[in-house]
């Protein structure tokens, strides 16, 4: 799911371990723990600001926004 939402010239090997872990945590929370997607994304963005490089929050947010759209999680909140 993560690889599917990466840009064309990116692969999982290029994503840092911390960023990959944060993305996995957010996806797990959104899909299996029914944490609202905005909360899950905000939590990992704050962790990325603290533990990763300065470009990580934007990168992670982009991946997770694609996952939200792909899984229609934004539509489930409105219902």
Determine the pLDDT at residue 77: 55
For residue range 4-33, what is the model confidence (pLDDT) as tens digits?
998 888 899 999 999 999 999 999 999 999
Domain definitions of the chain by residue range: 3-78
For residue range 33-52, what is the model confidence (pLDDT) as tens digits?
999 999 999 999 999 999 99
Confidence check: pLDDT of 63 > 70 = yes
CATH superfamily of 3-78: NusB-like (1.10.940.10)
Query: Which residue, 72, 58, 60, 62, is CA-closest to 30?
Result: 72
Rounded Cα gap, residues 59 and 22, in angstroms: 11
């Amino acid at each position: 799911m993560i690889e599917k939402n990466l840009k064309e010239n990116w692969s999982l090997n290029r994503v840092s371990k911390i960023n990959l872990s944060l993305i996995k945590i957010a996806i797990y929370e959104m899909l299996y723990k029914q944490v609202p997607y905005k909360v899950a994304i905000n939590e990992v963005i704050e962790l990325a600001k603290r533990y990763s490089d300065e470009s990580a929050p934007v990168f992670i947010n982009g991946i997770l926004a694609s996952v939200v759209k792909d899984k229609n999680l934004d539509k489930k909140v409105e219902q």
